[in-house]
Chain A
Amino acid sequence: MTGAVQQLTTDDGTPLKAALARTGRRARIRALLLVSPLLLFVLVTFAAPIAQMLYLSIHNPVFSDNMPRLSTWLRANPIDDVPGEAAFEALVLDLKEARKKRTHAQVGTRINYERAGSTSLFKSTARRVKKIDGPPYKEQMLAINKAWGELHLWTVMARAAHPHTAAFYAQALDLAFDDKGELTRAPEERRIYLLLFERTVFLSMLITLLCLILGYPVAHLLARLPLRYSNMLMVLVLLPFWTSLLVRTTAWITLLQSQGVLNDLLVFLGLVDDAGRIQMMYNQAGTVIAMTHIMLPFMILPLYSVMKSVPGDFVRAARSLGAGPVTAFVRVYLPQTVPGIGAGALLVFIISVGYYITPALVGGSSGQLISNQIAFHMLTSLNWGLAAALGAILLFGVIVLYWLYDRMIGVDNVKLG
């Protein structure tokens, strides 16, 4: 049967299908060439650094690279007690070499992430280890510092001997390895990250909700006013959007602090007395107020663009058919603005989850978010592995929420403008 159909060809005899495919391919390559600068730019400056950063969360070769003999030994032999001569010999030789290459402190820092006191242990031992030039190694090392006979130290080193580690993720989830290598919850006074993840999600949702409540009527007003008024009002929405973030945050400090404008006004009006000034700053309230203000344009703009395209006739038709104002709004107008609500809420929530500078400035202690801890580990403690693990968990959480949103509301429904 197939042979019966006459194959379509172009003038020069090539099958039409192949010719079409060729031109199609050419067009695609041309299109790809056009976007390639941007693609390359995004890959080099955005995707690659993020991937590299994420890799840091599971990969830390500091110990295995700089203590090669000991690492090999530790990988080959399970640690259930403090090991004997062979391990100590490897330790002494590696430490001597690390001391020469000035890497012993990095090694100590790596172990110090999981066992406090290791930085100075490695540093002081490295200074004195050159005196050891023969067995018995274990005895001499214990004479330098008896901490070398500590099982906990050896289990930490045994885990560090593998360049790939789950230790940073464990720490980021408030877990710790015990001496048997099993995961347990971290001691209570050191649990922090789960609390902060929880708080970040809760506050971001609260901010999203507040933005929606405040932004919805504004967007509606903007969409319904005649153009010359709405343009003017639009400038009022956009002006803060164009103003530097730091300026806006600092302005909120001036307004909200206990000797600030708002409290002064309340005292002047006699609503509170001078001693009872309200603490609106350096706590969660400060974070929520300032961030809601900063996020508002991200809610209003998508809402506005959707509402602009909703014809007023539908609501009028509903009213003329006997629906009350509430019914007309809930059953006719609101469903048509859902794409705008979805877009605005998604934008505000995702930006809030990773927000860092405003909580740092106005959040005090109770208004800190997880991103402040990430910044702390990036810039102050320089524990990039932990920072990367925290960042990866945050990224994963956002992707899961995005997926949930897609399942429940549908991303196709989102309209950004």
Chain B
Amino acid sequence: MNAKKPIAIAALSLGVSIGLALQAQAGEITVVSWGGAYTKSQIEAYQKPWMAKTGHKIKSVDAPNPAAPIKAQVKAGNVSMDVADLEYSDAVRYCDEGLLEEIDAAALPPAPDGTPATEDFIEGGLTDCAVANIVWATVVAYDASKFPDNQPKTIADFFNVKKFPGKRGLRKGAKPNLEMALMADGVPAGEVYKLLGTPAGVKRAFAKLDAIKKHAVWWEAGAQPPQLLADGEVAMTTAYNGRIFNAAISEDKPFKIVWDGQILDFDLFVIPKGAPNKDLALDFIKFATGTKPLADQARYIPYGPARKSSASLIGTYQDGKTEMAPHMPTAPANMKNALVNNFEFWADRDTELNERFNAWLAAN
């Protein structure tokens, strides 16, 4: 019974280590990412062109959160992955704890017009150990067929079950529900983290969440919210914007995004300390975070490229007709009331607020 947890970890690392066993010959790296449409976009835009250019192979592995196996593997001294795609807070925390190789930002290729990489990346996109590839957003999305007359327009509408009846999908965790709750309560984006640093702010956020607790369905993996919407299990949900776009455009679902009160976040490539093919991994990261591959990726999923020079190269979706630019979380029209995730805040308060969130959730 009690053995279940270590076994779960072992199974997870085993899944990744099988990748290692298969890559005995030189010239193959293991890249771990989040799966679904997101991994597919990375395979099309980064991995296939890199393989064609260099002749090396890539073993692509999916994980619910690629950060989870890293700590276990590095601590056990048995690292089987070469590149992982992490969230900002994990990338910074792991770097500080010495679990990642450092990556020299100056060695990254410059933009086509010669702008050095250190200036080409969006502010915050380069850290000591990580190189950002995309900017993504947690947004509120709804099923338009459930609200034929009066459609939700603001983050406050998400918390208003009287005016917009129906179940709500939320991520099971303190982040980013607390931020969204405060914004829905009328707190301007710029003051959210300051307020959340105070006991009164935390109390206010939970009080706001209380309003929809009875109507909430909690999701954990990014693939769940579009499924919940499609099943009619919820009328409105928080979700990653790319997943909603994919369901709406390629599966023709009546899903719409409320571009108000969304939370922006980076995803970054890292190399775990002791990766078996460190040099190839670095070469892959340099290639993948170049101007063109980043712009290409945006053609498969609407996550904003982390390089400024990529923005003008973004084309149409793979269906050939949908312009991608307006669907980007970084598009000016979508940025009117957006909050950038504050990883420093979460590095400090993660333990405390998640504990409190879990207690709040478990209490009836």
For the complex, is A49 an interface residue (Cβ under 8 Å from B)? yes
For the complex, give the distance between the alpha carbons of A112 and B217 in Å. Answer: 30
Interface residue range, chain B = 35 or more
Report B59 CB to chain A, min CB distance, Å.
22
Q: Which residues of chain A are within 8 angstroms of B349 by Cβ–Cβ distance?
A: 116-117
Give the residue name and chain of the A residue nearest to B361 (CB). A365
Q: Which residues of chain A are within 8 angstroms of B9 by Cβ–Cβ distance?
A: 378-379
Give the residue name and chain of the B residue nearest to A366 (CB). B364
Among candidates B3, B5, B363, residue contacting A387 with C-beta atoms closer than 8 Å: B5
B91-99, B130-138, B299-307: which one contacts chain A?
A: B91-99
Report A350 CB to chain B, min CB distance, Å.
6
For the complex, is B216 an interface residue (Cβ under 8 Å from A)? yes
Q: Which residues of chain B are within 8 angstroms of A192 by Cβ–Cβ distance?
A: 355, 358-359, 362-363
Report A37 CB to chain B, min CB distance, Å.
20
| 1/0 contact string of B1-19 vs chain A (CB within 8 Å) | 1111110110000000000
Q: Which residues of chain B are within 8 angstroms of A375 by Cβ–Cβ distance?
A: 5, 8
Are B3 and A365 touching (Cβ within 8 A)?
Answer: no
| 1/0 contact string of A222-265 vs chain B (CB within 8 Å) | 00000000000000000000000000000000000111000000
Are B233 and A259 touching (Cβ within 8 A)?
Answer: yes
For the complex, is B232 an interface residue (Cβ under 8 Å from A)? yes
For the complex, give the distance between the alpha carbons of A373 and B354 in Å. Answer: 11
Known: A116-B352, A364-B217. A195 touches B233 (CB 8 A): no
Give the residue name and chain of the B residue nearest to A101 (CB). B98
Q: Which residues of chain B are within 8 angstroms of A117 by Cβ–Cβ distance?
A: 348-349
Within 8 A of B (CB), among A377-392: 378-383, 387, 391-392
Q: By DSSP majority rule, is chain B's interface helix, strand, loop, or mixed?
A: helix
| 1/0 contact string of A101-139 vs chain B (CB within 8 Å) | 111111001001100111110010000000000000000
Are B347 and A120 touching (Cβ within 8 A)?
Answer: yes
Are B359 and A191 touching (Cβ within 8 A)?
Answer: yes
Are A371 and B4 touching (Cβ within 8 A)?
Answer: yes
Are A381 and B360 touching (Cβ within 8 A)?
Answer: no
Q: Which residues of chain A are within 8 angstroms of B217 by Cβ–Cβ distance?
A: 282, 364
Nearest 8 interchain pairs by C-beta: A354-B1, A105-B96, A192-B359, A116-B352, A259-B232, A395-B2, A102-B98, A365-B361
Q: Which residues of B contact A (CB under 8 A)?
A: 1-6, 8-9, 65, 68, 71, 93, 96-98, 167, 173, 206, 213, 216-218, 220, 231-233, 344, 347-352, 354-356, 358-364
What are 26 sample pairs from A and B whose C-beta atoms fall under 8 A apart? A50-B3, A105-B98, A106-B96, A116-B349, A116-B352, A117-B349, A119-B93, A123-B96, A192-B355, A192-B359, A195-B363, A257-B233, A355-B4, A364-B217, A364-B218, A365-B361, A365-B362, A373-B358, A374-B5, A375-B8, A379-B9, A379-B68, A380-B354, A391-B2, A392-B2, A394-B1
